[in-house]
Structure 1
Amino acid sequence: MSRIALLNIDTQQSFHHREYWQEQDIPAFQQAMLGLIDGCESRGIPIIDIFHVDEEGPFSLQSGYVKPMSFLRHQTAVIFQKHVHNAFTDTGLDRWLRERDINQLIVCGIRTEQCCETTARVASDLGYAVTFVSEATLTFPMTHNGITLSADELRHRTETVLAGRFADIKTVAGTLESL
């Protein structure tokens, strides 16, 4: 029997204070996140908030921004703080999940191709079944070597490299139907 948890990765106010923050994809992201969270809550699935913490800047505890974005109102089962891209390294998350016999994870949050993708990869390597709900993830355009990838291109790239290897890629509706 699968025991499931929802990992909400880095959906924290710190991002509002980054130079790359853009509002254009926020309404769709919020709607997807809230739908996924509401659906999980109504099914008794624990929601785990993960917050990224740095020594300084908007991701430091001293900044006051390491807290849920204002649109989030869910009841959290537990909160973990991370200092690297994945939610498992030195956080206690794996132990918490295993103590509760949780073996399936749903991943959502901020940044699709960074902390969400890295967490999905590590979770898979640790033996968890992973559902990656990319419509309930958010990212921003990135440029490298003069080439800019849009948020949609980054999302597609992440889905491509995760699908069939590290995670099942599903919509919010598809995820909730499968529970």
Structure 2
Amino acid sequence: MNRALIVIDVQKEYFTGKLPVTYPHGTLNNILNCMNAARRRGIPIILVQHTNPYKNAATFVKGSDGWEILPEVLNKNHDYLVEKNFPGSFTGTDLESWLQNNNINTVTISGYMTQMCCDTTARQGYHRGFKVEFLSDSTGTLNVSNYAGTVTDEELHRSILVTHAMRFSNVLTTNDWIKRLGE
């Protein structure tokens, strides 16, 4: 199995910006632990950075503080950086060709937000024939309320994990994933 760890949108917007991630607790430490384990095992690490392409955008504006990847993630050794404009990391990027050129057949999903960019990227990977591992405690979200209703961070996160476990992904905890690496 040739896997790559995909670290999605670990940007300041989710920590000090307008969209603070609230569930589950400890996701950033788990992501950093995954990155450390991947590096020790020679697993490629791909950072993904969201850029909002729309004029007058309120979040993820290129060059803004909220757009920046957290330094503790960015300063770790990584193999590739993907800039995306849509929730899916494969849409409008060269991620798929990079994975294929590096003989990757399994993608491990971590980052933010569970129900948006992580979910979309995982489904896109599955649809493209990759095996997908979705890290339950290295992905995170927040409470959502809009015209369709309200859902808590925990309910939203759990619903996505259950859906992924039905078909799209192998849902694992960070510790279980690291154990599978032979750590």
Residue in structure 2 matching 1:94, options 93, 96, 101: 96
Structure 2 residues without counterparts, runs of 5 or longer: none
**1:70 to 1:27, Cα distance in 2 relative to 1, 3 A:** farther
Which amino acid counterpart does residue 66 of structure 1 have in structure 2?
W
Deviation string 1:15-55 (CA, Å, 9 cap, x unpaired) is: 3321x425x55851122112111111111111100111013
Name the SS of the counterpart of 2:118 in structure 1: helix
Partner of 1:53: 51
Cα RMSD, aligned residues only: 1.8
**1:147 to 1:35, Cα distance in 2 relative to 1, 3 A:** same
Question: How much has 1:160 moved relative to structure 2?
Answer: 1.1
Partner of 2:17: 17
Deviation string 1:68-106 (CA, Å, 9 cap, x unpaired) is: 213324211010111111000111000000001100010
Are 2:148 and 1:149 aligned? Answer: no
Equivalent pair of 1:57/1:63 in contact (CA under 8 Å): no
Partner of 1:69: 70
Residue in structure 1 matching 2:108, options 79, 91, 106: 106
TM-score norm. by structure 1 comes to 0.90
Farther-moved stretch of structure 1 (38-47 vs 61-70): 61-70
Question: How much has 1:57 moved relative to structure 2?
Answer: 3.7
Structure 1 residues without counterparts, runs of 5 or longer: none
Partner of 2:174: 172
Sequence identity (%): 26
Partner of 1:37: 35
TM-score norm. by structure 2 comes to 0.88
**1:80 to 1:149, Cα distance in 2 relative to 1, 3 A:** same
Partner of 2:124: 122
Equivalent pair of 2:24/2:137 in contact (CA under 8 Å): no
